[in-house]
Structure 1
Amino acid sequence: MEGIFINYRSGNHFAAIERLYDRLIWHFGKNCVFLDRSSIRGGERYPDVLREKLEGCEVLLAVIHPGWLIDADNETRLIDREGDWVRYEIKTALELGKLVIPVRLDDAAIPGVDDLPEELKELAVRQAIALRTGGFAADVEVLIGRLEHQVTPSWRPPELVPPPPAGTGARRRLAVVAAAFAGVAALIVPPVLALAYGRPVAADEEAPLSFQAAMWSALFMTSYPIIAGLLGLVRTRINNAEQIMHPISSNRYNSRFAIPVGMTTVALLSMIILAASGLTFPAYVTIMVLLVTFAGYVVALVRAERDEEDEERNWPRRPRWPITAPALRRGVERVRNRLTVWPAPLNREQQLKAEWSLAVLAEAADDFRRQGAGKRHAWLNRKFPRLTLACGLWIAATVGLFVASLSPDIAANPTRVRYYLAIAVFTGVVLAIFASGGELLYRYWRWMYGNVAAEVHDEVRELRGLLEERGPTSGVG
């Protein structure tokens, strides 16, 4: 046992002992406070239990009441009786080097050095703490303040788990190499197939399928910078909406916002595509891609919901890596909810958990700000590593399809400059689309990272003030 051993003598003052015990177990936890009547189970050998608890405790409170030393009825010295457990417990604690604190009840006086047996004389020179009936609550808080740094907490913060590596290992390099080969294949294979099986297109013929696919792909790409630009224009409103939505549970967030917005977006884009081209093959493929992407989005939301349920059960814990704005805001809301619901004054475990959680949130907010302060290529690799590779493949495939649509004509008339110029212009347009979208998105995310980090720091300062108000001294009078 690590904690507090309450040493007392039986008498009509036991109600004060129980009151002291109740307040101490509320603050430190039941496993950290020992009182024989409440802590020894029926059938246990109390001499063995007392010795074990004395050896394991960190502090012994020697409660001294009027008549503690001398029996007023027959004027015998109780401390000199053979087998006096009060004497044995104090003597053992002093011999073991434990911190022994005399606790005076009301008008009780601490015995002098000459009044105590040789092995207890040290008790007379230990600073005592008074517990008065009229000021019991305030006096107990003074005692708790004295014990705070002497008693080992029953709750310990979870061990620090380092974030996963940034993906610079063998698997990361293998993925980059595979994506590079896939990109080269996407760029080369369509023109090669067109040269092998295609033919020049006459003026009155419909454009080849490869050309239609390349145009549709390029058209769909334009949604990237458009969406990124719109995010920048309404970023304050988006942030205000997220401040309302992020703190709520994932279940409510998904059902009321994320999934309905995702479904609406897919439906609108599908209607625009159908209105522009009808149910052509490229339009069909594009709509299928949208549906598959939305399905993956829903799966990610369900996983996030399960992760949040796990975090709620195992609170407090560090935010998962990489840190996100919803995780920070929900972390703040968890602390706020607990500080609001917990009755004052907070016990030690509640206080330690809230303090640790707020410190972790402040540290996570700093990490979150640093995530948004990196260079563009580092931000892309850290925030969207898979999406970056996928976009590279997309660009290569789109340019490859466009080149494939012109390859038979180039083979028939390789000196026509306009074919090469068309390829260069198309490639430049595709790259410009992605570059402009990436820049706009980067600026939006950089602003968002800094804004959320500042918001979390403000919330943490506010909650630390609330924690101080509801701490051990609140409600004392």
Structure 2
Amino acid sequence: MSYRKNPHGTTVAAITDGLQHYFGADEVFIDNGIPSGDQYPNALESQLQACSVLLVMIHEGWEDTFTESRHKDWVLHEVKTALDRGIHVIPVPIGNAAMPAWEELPAEIGELANRQVAHIRSATYAADLDRLIRQLENHVAPAAAPVESSAPRRKRLWLRLLVSTISLFALTPVLFHSGGTAWEFFARPAAISTALLALVSTVATTLVFALQPLTNRWEKGAGANGIQRMFRRYWIVPFLIILSSVFTSIHAITEDQHLRLEKIFSYVAFFSLAIWVLWLWYLRMAEREEAWPPPVTTEPVVFRRAAHRLEQRLIADGKSRKPFTKADRRDAESILSGLDGAREELDRRAGASIPVWLKGGHRSEAVAYLSWFGSVVALELTAIGISVFGEPALGRSLRAAGLTLAIAIVFTAAALYANRRLDRRDSRRWSSEIAAWQQKLTLMIPAHGAPAERGHG
């Protein structure tokens, strides 16, 4: 926006406000938006070199201002630079101003007289501004809004596996050590951990399938109402889970009547880490709910929340007859694009082989089972290494390790297979749901270029 500071500044500000409302504040630059303390010549030059369109605001007597003495005539410099660089220049006479003739302009910008003007008159302000906006749409293409990638972060999978395996390997002997030889320090915890793996994987897999309707209901509620509202509504559930976990831990620590410091420290460290991870997850979900446009991923709560928020905004704008701006269209199209990417990723997940699916790290349960199995293998290998030096006989160590690993392999494989089947079914169901959302939201978005009532004035 190139203009002279004069009594028509209010009109220039109104035009700027209307353009920023439609295209977005980042797409329309005017010098009063330069932050305090910045060197305005550098800011003006930077914006001038990067712009797609220069709007020259012409008030009555504008052509006479070039005869005034100035250290540097920025309006003359802006118009000349834009004409020389081939930037699209639109003269905008405001109020009763007329477009100056060639001979009335400085020679450096005389070409401006040949440009088609876009009048903005007080009596027809709304219609004139709307006409200018339609012209600018041919030249201004706002950058797409950032959308969180729907693809999983595969690069971190092996790091997650490594960290989890090492943590379990270090923690298990401390939790389940009950005295004995160095070989037993690793072999017994490995056996106990394998038994727990078999129990937990069986119970967890059964509960996942049994509680699927309840889980789906909670996910749909979180998608429609948001994670924070759902937690406020059902706070008693996580509270009871934490309470039962604490009582279980206290019982495990005190059951042998010996309060060993290392066991207490291990339990405290484990629960502190778990609470910290859950808190980070909650903060991340809360941040997603505040962002606009909302991120879109393959997580059902996330893509449902994005779709619901776009639907709510479209309905609210329709009821209030708020004009559907180019910035609004950009946001809506970015969300639809994110939904399309999530649907494609879900389709790939549904058709992927088990090795490819595992590498994708799509389900945290699968990563947990693999880490658990990895820690059992590490414990048994350590125990075998100790038995090589004669504690106990190597044959006994190998038989014990073989039995433990066989059980661990069977239950880990069964848990992974069950999770794979569940994820394939869910991926197909979620893909179909996203397709339905895309069709519904596309029909709700006003047609591009359709006339809309505007509240400029």
**Do the aligned residues in 2 keep the contact of 1:213 with 1:282 (CA within 8 Å)?**
no
Q: Deviations over 1:202-239 (max 9, x none)?
A: xxxxxx99769835751463122222222123424422
Q: Deviations over 1:365-416 (max 9, x none)?
A: 3224434543223333331586355212343378689999x99xx979979x
User: What's the offset of the Cα at 1:244?
Assistant: 0.9
Aligned mate of 1:166, from 154, 163, 166: 154
Aligned mate of 2:215, from 206, 215, 238: 238
- Whether 1:264 aligns to 2:240 is yes
Mapped partners of 2:257, 2:370: distance in 1 = 26
- Whether 1:380 aligns to 2:361 is no
Mapped partners of 2:382, 2:187: distance in 1 = 5
Task: Specify the code of the residue in structure 1 equivalent to 2:368.
Answer: L
User: What's the offset of the Cα at 1:457?
Assistant: 3.3
Mapped partners of 2:259, 2:199: distance in 1 = 15
User: How many residues of Structure 1 are paired with residues of Structure 2 in the alignment?
Assistant: 398
**Do the aligned residues in 2 keep the contact of 1:316 with 1:357 (CA within 8 Å)?**
yes
- Whether 1:58 aligns to 2:88 is yes
Mapped partners of 2:258, 2:431: distance in 1 = 43
**Do the aligned residues in 1 keep the contact of 2:92 with 2:118 (CA within 8 Å)?**
yes
Uncovered stretches (5+) of structure 2, i.e. residues with no partner: 30-54
Mapped partners of 1:27, 1:286: distance in 2 = 62
Task: Specify the code of the residue in structure 1 equivalent to 2:90.
Answer: L
- Whether 1:390 aligns to 2:390 is no
**Partner in structure 2 of residue 347 of structure 1:** 325
**Do the aligned residues in 2 keep the contact of 1:266 with 1:290 (CA within 8 Å)?**
no
**Do the aligned residues in 2 keep the contact of 1:324 with 1:368 (CA within 8 Å)?**
no
**Do the aligned residues in 1 keep the contact of 2:293 with 2:331 (CA within 8 Å)?**
yes
TM-score in terms of structure 2 length: 0.60
Aligned mate of 1:228, from 196, 202, 205: 205
**Partner in structure 1 of residue 138 of structure 2:** 149
Mapped partners of 2:410, 2:183: distance in 1 = 32
Q: Deviations over 1:158-181 (max 9, x none)?
A: 599997973399x859949x969x
SS of 1:346's partner is coil
**Partner in structure 1 of residue 34 of structure 2:** none
Aligned mate of 1:429, from 407, 418, 434: 407
Mapped partners of 1:162, 1:236: distance in 2 = 25
**Do the aligned residues in 2 keep the contact of 1:20 with 1:140 (CA within 8 Å)?**
yes
**Do the aligned residues in 2 keep the contact of 1:372 with 1:450 (CA within 8 Å)?**
yes
Mapped partners of 1:390, 1:369: distance in 2 = 27
SS of 1:379's partner is helix
**Partner in structure 2 of residue 460 of structure 1:** 438
Mapped partners of 1:22, 1:332: distance in 2 = 29
SS of 1:222's partner is helix
Given the superposition, is the C-alpha separation of residues 219 and 353 from structure 1 closer, same or farther in structure 2, using an over 3 Å criterion?
Answer: closer
Give RMSD over aligned pairs: 6.1
- Whether 1:326 aligns to 2:301 is yes
Mapped partners of 2:394, 2:74: distance in 1 = 101
Aligned mate of 1:93, from 112, 125, 134: 112
User: What's the offset of the Cα at 1:355?
Assistant: 1.8
Among all aligned residue pairs of Structure 1 and Structure 2, give the percentage whose two residues are the same amino acid. 17
Mapped partners of 1:233, 1:225: distance in 2 = 12
Aligned runs of 1:37-56 on 2, under 5 Å? 48=73, 50-52=75-77, 54-55=79-80, 56=82
SS of 1:468's partner is coil
Mapped partners of 2:355, 2:205: distance in 1 = 17
User: What's the offset of the Cα at 1:305?
Assistant: 4.0
Aligned mate of 2:191, from 189, 205, 214: 214
Mapped partners of 1:316, 1:17: distance in 2 = 29
Q: Deviations over 1:411-456 (max 9, x none)?
A: 79979xxx99887555433332222222212222222233223323
Mapped partners of 2:370, 2:74: distance in 1 = 66
Mapped partners of 1:380, 1:81: distance in 2 = 71
Uncovered stretches (5+) of structure 1, i.e. residues with no partner: 70-77, 106-130, 199-207
**Partner in structure 2 of residue 303 of structure 1:** 280
**Partner in structure 2 of residue 203 of structure 1:** none
Task: Specify the code of the residue in structure 2 equivalent to 1:149.
Answer: N
TM-score in terms of structure 1 length: 0.58
User: What's the offset of the Cα at 1:51?
Assistant: 3.3
Q: Deviations over 1:278-336 (max 9, x none)?
A: 9248999999978755543432233234445655676347657xx53333233334434
**Partner in structure 1 of residue 337 of structure 2:** 359
SS of 2:445's partner is helix
**Do the aligned residues in 2 keep the contact of 1:179 with 1:393 (CA within 8 Å)?**
yes
- Whether 1:370 aligns to 2:342 is no
Mapped partners of 1:255, 1:352: distance in 2 = 33
Rg (Cα) greater in structure: 1
Given the superposition, is the C-alpha separation of residues 61 and 473 from structure 1 closer, same or farther in structure 2, using an over 3 Å criterion?
Answer: farther
Mapped partners of 2:190, 2:237: distance in 1 = 28
Mapped partners of 1:332, 1:432: distance in 2 = 41
Mapped partners of 1:333, 1:440: distance in 2 = 31
**Partner in structure 1 of residue 452 of structure 2:** 474
**Partner in structure 2 of residue 279 of structure 1:** 255
**Do the aligned residues in 2 keep the contact of 1:59 with 1:101 (CA within 8 Å)?**
no
Moved more, 268-277 or 141-150: 268-277
SS of 2:90's partner is strand
SS of 2:155's partner is coil
SS of 1:328's partner is helix
Q: Deviations over 1:42-62 (max 9, x none)?
A: x99799454355454635266
Given the superposition, is the C-alpha separation of residues 101 and 450 from structure 1 closer, same or farther in structure 2, using an over 3 Å criterion?
Answer: farther
**Do the aligned residues in 1 keep the contact of 2:296 with 2:335 (CA within 8 Å)?**
no
**Partner in structure 2 of residue 451 of structure 1:** 429
User: What's the offset of the Cα at 1:473?
Assistant: 2.4
Aligned mate of 2:420, from 442, 457, 468: 442
**Do the aligned residues in 2 keep the contact of 1:262 with 1:294 (CA within 8 Å)?**
no
